Amino acid sequence: MGHLAGMLEKNGVCVVASLISSYESSRRFARSRCRNFVEVHVATPLEVCEKRDSKGHYASARRGERPRFTGIDDPYEPPENCEIRVNTADLSKEEALSRVMDYLGRRHLDRRR
């Protein structure tokens, strides 16, 4: 995904990708491929993610039916150097989106003009 985002960016496309990026090395690779990389860490505690899981994926992973499930039996390395962090346990979806959009407007989108 990082390689593809970098190629699209080089051709004038603004790329927004929502990914579960469990490993720092994956995020570092994606960042190395893009000039205008903004990492948004949706820092929601595991307990909250499990509580919100309407499809039962976490319960299935806890029963061993979904091997290598992030946060259960596969590690998650939280980003240490993300540009913005939002904790949706403390913020509504609208508040979290507003913070991200405010950041992008102040730091990045205005620079492209």
pLDDT tens readout for residues 5-53? 999 999 988 888 888 889 999 999 999 999 888 899 999 999 999 999 9
The catalytic site residues sit at 21
User: Could you give the CA distance from residue 15 to residue 56 in angstroms, rounded to a whole number?
Assistant: 30
- 74 - beta bridge partners? 70
Q: Which letter does DSSP use for residue 69 in this model?
A: -
Which helix (H) or strand (E) segment holds residue 85: the answer is: strand 84-86
Q: Using alpha carbons only, how large is the chain's radius of gyration in Å?
A: 16
pTM: 0.81
Report strand pairing: 40-42 vs 84-86: parallel
